[in-house]
Structure 1
């Protein structure tokens, strides 16, 4: 059976409203949570950028869900700090946190003033961060000199079990690469055949653990309204890597979005007013092999989406608690 989770988008929604939304989602029948970790939104129309780690403490304390968070250590975040944050949350809420690690986006990382490395350098830096974090979770004192520098770091508060470090991958190549170090895989929705290739690349290269997919959806009372929500809030995300990796300002993303037509949204967002259509899409993702499907309604008002999916989508699926 498949876990269906609620994705909390810090780029779009005030953290207090997001906390209310995830509590509502749990009551509606969603069985997990996931959140982004951004310093800036993708568009001025989104207009938020709450701190994910503050929010996670509140969300873990006020719901019973497990949570994943997508994080990019190595530039904006020192890996020892992320290890400390994840270890403390896992000590307080055992077994309820996983951390998906990726190589990051310039829109968040440029704030340090450091240069934005090439993709292969970012991947090498990420692998160093993974090794540092695993050693810290093992209780070791860590010193490291490389693409990241660590001087005699040690975590004094450790959980009984460290949080899973999940590999974030969009491409087949990255999925094959993260299989060498990750405890699981998380990706984003793409055409089904491409998702099959990503899953196969991960598994065929020795990838272990659960596989999750984040799915952007837009639901409203009619198709035109659902399309309008998607185009207003998520059109800056239609253009994928390397543009999404390397564009470093909200203003630049909004310029890119000016060229995106409403009809262009269907390749990135699952848009429909028909709950049965959303059921079919989620069932298809489960058939591909994903153990967890995290739904991100791209609108800023989450209430209608949560209530309708709780009443008319989740009951039609074989969902389970993690």
Structure 2
């Protein structure tokens, strides 16, 4: 049976509000939760970007289910620091914390003042960072002199069981590449053909562990309200894919977005009928072990109430 998770969007909601939302999500029956590690929102209208690692400690203390984070070691965070943060969470909350590692976006990483590397170099850096983190989490003292430099690093506070290091990937190329080191894969999308291709590429390349899907949805009282919420809050989903990782400012995302109804519906499951939305989520999540729902609209409390009444029971029947 597919596990159903709640996505806590730091880009859109203040950290204190998200703590209340995540407790609400657990209370109504979500199996787990996740968040993304951002320094800036995608769009100015989103208006938030709390520190994910600080928030995770509070969120795990407030709940009992697993909570993970998508993060990018290598530039804004040195992988030794990321490994220490994850180890501390996993020691305090055994078997509940996980991280999915990605190659990052200029939006969050440019602030260091370092050059933003091309994709091939970012992938090499990610592989090296994952290796450093895995060795540290297993208790090794680590030295490295490559895409990531490390000098005699060791973690002194470790969990009994190292937390899983998943990979974050969108393309089939990335999914196949990360299969060599990842404990699982998380991808994002609403198109059943595209999500299936990414999952298959990971598994065919020998990828182990669970395959996870994050899916953006806009479930509102009317279709017009759902489209309006997606356009206001998630228009960056219509930016050409080749630019998503290269733009460095919310204003640039706004300038390159093309939020026509057609493009919004391709990126976000938009609708007012819970059964129809459940059908489309189930189609995109077919074959996945875990699916995380991200309601792009501002009213998270109303969405969670509707999940309790309608969406979660419908998804339990379909997944």
Quickly name the TM-score band, shorter chain normalised.
over 0.9
2:103 equivalent in structure 1: 103
1:241 equivalent in structure 2: 241
Moved more, 239-248 or 123-132: 239-248
1:199 equivalent in structure 2: 199
Counterpart CA distance in 2 for 1:29 and 1:310 is 7
Counterpart CA distance in 2 for 1:112 and 1:164 is 27
1:266 equivalent in structure 2: 265
Q: Give TM-score, length-normalised by structure 1.
A: 0.96
2:185 equivalent in structure 1: 185
2:49 equivalent in structure 1: 49
2:277 equivalent in structure 1: 278
Unaligned 5+ residue runs, structure 2?
Answer: none
Spell out the pairing of 1:124-163 with structure 2 (5 A cutoff): 124-163=124-163
- What is the SS of the residue equivalent to 2:234? helix
1:15 equivalent in structure 2: 15
- What is the SS of the residue equivalent to 1:73? coil
- What is the SS of the residue equivalent to 2:241? coil
Structure of greater relative contact order (alpha carbons < 8 Å, 6+ residues apart): 1
Residues 272-317 of structure 1: CA deviation (Å, up to 9, x unaligned): 1111012212322343x10111000011220111110111111123
Residues 108-166 of structure 1: CA deviation (Å, up to 9, x unaligned): 00000000001000000000101100110111111111111111110000001111111
2:212–2:288 Cα contact (<8 Å) kept = yes
Counterpart CA distance in 2 for 1:269 and 1:248 is 23
1:35–1:70 Cα contact (<8 Å) kept = yes
2:191–2:284 Cα contact (<8 Å) kept = no
1:229 equivalent in structure 2: 229
1:112 equivalent in structure 2: 112
Which residue, out of 270, 289, 292, partners 2:290?
Answer: 292
Residues 89-120 of structure 1: CA deviation (Å, up to 9, x unaligned): 00000000110000000010000000000100
1:28–1:311 Cα contact (<8 Å) kept = no
Q: What is the aligned residue count?
A: 317
Q: Give TM-score, length-normalised by structure 2.
A: 0.97
Q: What is the Cα deviation at residue 198 of structure 1?
A: 1.0
Counterpart CA distance in 1 for 2:206 and 2:259 is 39
Counterpart CA distance in 1 for 2:290 and 2:279 is 15
1:228–1:262 Cα contact (<8 Å) kept = no
Counterpart CA distance in 1 for 2:240 and 2:73 is 21
Unaligned 5+ residue runs, structure 1?
Answer: none
Residues 212-238 of structure 1: CA deviation (Å, up to 9, x unaligned): 000000011111111100000001222
Q: What is the Cα deviation at residue 247 of structure 1?
A: 0.3
Task: Give the root-mean-square deviation of aligned CA atoms.
Answer: 1.2
Q: What is the Cα deviation at residue 240 of structure 1?
A: 4.3
1:3–1:291 Cα contact (<8 Å) kept = yes
Moved more, 218-227 or 239-248: 239-248
Residues 230-256 of structure 1: CA deviation (Å, up to 9, x unaligned): 000001222243211000111111212
2:176 equivalent in structure 1: 176
2:190–2:268 Cα contact (<8 Å) kept = no
Q: Structure 1 residues 240 and 184, CA, compared in 2 at 3 Å: closer, same or farther? A: farther
Q: What is the Cα deviation at residue 261 of structure 1?
A: 2.5
